[in-house]
Structure 1
């Protein structure tokens, strides 16, 4: 009988060698309460930047702290809180009291339609889950508090827009609308990125509160009553970035993310965008001063009222005129913040701000753009305008290859690198930029010609006369 091989007992050390990735941890004391807390934290959703922030539905973010450090309080409301982020702040309490007055006026007007406050609250609660998803930060308000905030803030905006749009009679002594500085701050605060309500919430409560006589009055005139989008744009037309009637009419049925996105879209949706020809060679262009030295000139583009419609052709950079003041600076800063946070929108305002950041380095660049009628400055000194655009361009993620100005950046740089253009432009700038430099250049040329003639006649007897004698 043949005997098989004897099997030896497995050695634990051999097993450890086979599975060398197993780590043996020595016994030690563990705080069980801390361990339980850690386990709970792994199951909790982030609150300051929640899990839904990357979705297209999320469009109202906290502005990154670095932007606030660079641009100051341009993102923070001055007189009115809209939405949850700045709700309850002491310096906004004055308008908070007036919101209830505007809500009371709306309720007294729509009660003949059979609507009560309960109907508005019910509509707000119906939209609550969808509305909460629009905020990047988890809102700590309970359902009743959230609905109250939505009704109060939405009806305030709707009533302001209706009064300004003349759908509702205005009280000439209204302390909100008759105080110029307050009205000016409202224009800016309604466009703060952190100070937004989802537009579909405003639209729903606007439709609910619409009275039959509003439509009838316009039908007798052969038209239709303005939509909420139109009324909001008419309201913002009291600022410097006013939109033509045909643009407002075109956006009658537009459904933006919020009011900031509405005004922004009237520029971005209508901007002329050409197909990209290829990858640009650089992500920046030179300043106004350097481009002028290279022979590039700047001209106001009068054929467009959209500041985004920048064009470069035959060495001429054409830019529509833009007014820079407290309103437009706030609008630019909040649009850039929106485009940086919401990945599901274009980067056209960021592209334009980057263009100005490249063109402007010192007050002299701003001064020239003002002289060329491209910038109308009501913001402050030329140095302050330069600082604003330089700060606005910092810390922003910008990919020129995805920019609507991609072709322009490439064409400007190709022209700038052309040696003949640079040398000829430098010559003109040096000798023909001012009358005195021109006179000096002409005098130098005349002196040079006279010197050549004198040299010729001085050398003539020595060069040509001996030949005559030899003949």
Structure 2
């Protein structure tokens, strides 16, 4: 079975780059069928229960003896099929496509779980709109090769940097399989699970999705904001929160920032009175009128007393 699946996978990976060797009416590998077969094959390729060891591909390529058979080439071949922009800093051959896909989203080569500094209590953070009302600024971390776990919060400026996540029909399927992979493989880490739990806390209403989409943190291809909300509400079901969550420190800092009444007061001032240039000019003009009136009154009082 692995021999048959391995031969098919090699042919699929190669056909995605060049389909000239097949007849135009080939029902599977013709160039016109590429965009039709790819989503379904990719979906099956990343199913946890369908994982094929990449060592099988390496062995078949070595038997074929027609080109490169090194780990870098095989990793690149698989990732090129999964997505044009996916990269993984792997110095070894990945165990299987799902591990490779997961590493490409994390941009690292490690199976050691990264633990955040110990925090005595786990904080529950508010949704995106509530955090914005307390002065949190959402920033899209759109740098090339940004890890899904590259989430940082600066309590001094209130800036929360989040990676860009494309949301489409396959997003739920891919994330669920990676969560399952993390849950059953000891020592793998919980980075994808941590990210999903964090986004689930941020996204509770359609307004949260609108805010994150406006900030270019989410690109929504599902069509409806409500669909995105339901997606992130379904993902973390029956997944326990890990006290060593890699994002636990960010949660704690966000919770403390939101609890600060001064931050909420300043945020309310900005949203109510400083949200447009015209409002700022109006406030400046009113302040100048008050200041000039005070100076004029003071001058009149001083003049009256000096005349005495």
Structure-1-length-normalised TM-score: 0.54
- State yes or no: 1:398 paired with 2:241: yes
1:431 maps to: 273
Matches within 5 A, 1:207-356: 207-211=59-63, 213-215=65-67, 227-238=73-84, 242-244=85-87, 247=88, 250-251=89-90, 253-256=92-95, 258-268=96-106, 270=108, 276-279=116-119, 281-305=121-145, 306-313=147-154, 314=156, 315-356=158-199
Question: Which of 388, 407, 419 is matched with 2:249 structurally?
Answer: 407
1:366 maps to: 209
Question: Which of 41, 44, 48 is matched with 1:193 structurally?
Answer: 48
Q: Render the CA deviation track for 1:118-166: whole Å, top value 9, x for unaligned.
A: xxxxxxxxxxxxxxxxxxxxxxxxxxxxxxx333323222321243356
User: Deviation at 1:205?
Assistant: 5.4
Q: Which runs of 5+ in 1 are unaligned?
A: 1-148
Q: Render the CA deviation track for 1:377-416: whole Å, top value 9, x for unaligned.
A: 11221121111112213322121x3121122112222222
Secondary structure of 1:317's counterpart equals strand
Q: Render the CA deviation track for 1:10-62: whole Å, top value 9, x for unaligned.
A: xxxxxxxxxxxxxxxxxxxxxxxxxxxxxxxxxxxxxxxxxxxxxxxxxxxxx
Given that 2:123 and 2:255 are in contact with CA atoms closer than 8 Å, whether structure 1 keeps it comes out as: no
Q: Which runs of 5+ in 2 are unaligned?
A: none
Secondary structure of 2:48's counterpart equals coil
1:67 maps to: none
User: Deviation at 1:213?
Assistant: 4.7
1:420 maps to: 262
From the superposition, tell whether residues 279 and 226 of structure 1 become closer, same or farther in structure 2 (CA, over 3 Å): closer
User: Deviation at 1:254?
Assistant: 2.6
Matches within 5 A, 1:160-199: 160-164=12-16, 170-171=21-22, 173=24, 174-177=26-29, 178=31, 179=33, 180-194=35-49, 196-199=50-53
Write the distance in 1 (CA, Å) between the matches of 2:287 and 2:178.
Answer: 55
Write the distance in 2 (CA, Å) between the matches of 1:433 and 1:271.
Answer: 44
Given that 2:178 and 2:192 are in contact with CA atoms closer than 8 Å, whether structure 1 keeps it comes out as: yes
Secondary structure of 1:158's counterpart equals helix
Count of equivalent residues: 294
Secondary structure of 1:318's counterpart equals strand
Given that 1:360 and 1:386 are in contact with CA atoms closer than 8 Å, whether structure 2 keeps it comes out as: yes
Given that 1:229 and 1:252 are in contact with CA atoms closer than 8 Å, whether structure 2 keeps it comes out as: no
User: Deviation at 1:317?
Assistant: 0.6
User: Deviation at 1:349?
Assistant: 0.7
Write the distance in 2 (CA, Å) between the matches of 1:394 and 1:259.
Answer: 25
Of structures 1 and 2, the larger Rg is shown by 1
Write the distance in 1 (CA, Å) between the matches of 2:137 and 2:91.
Answer: 39
Write the distance in 2 (CA, Å) between the matches of 1:212 and 1:152.
Answer: 14
User: Deviation at 1:432?
Assistant: 2.3
From the superposition, tell whether residues 436 and 224 of structure 1 become closer, same or farther in structure 2 (CA, over 3 Å): same
Write the distance in 2 (CA, Å) between the matches of 1:358 and 1:308.
Answer: 15
Secondary structure of 1:403's counterpart equals coil
Write the distance in 2 (CA, Å) between the matches of 1:175 and 1:324.
Answer: 30
Given that 2:168 and 2:222 are in contact with CA atoms closer than 8 Å, whether structure 1 keeps it comes out as: yes
From the superposition, tell whether residues 374 and 271 of structure 1 become closer, same or farther in structure 2 (CA, over 3 Å): farther
Write the distance in 1 (CA, Å) between the matches of 2:71 and 2:189.
Answer: 31
What RMSD in Å do the two structures reach over aligned CA positions?
Answer: 3.5
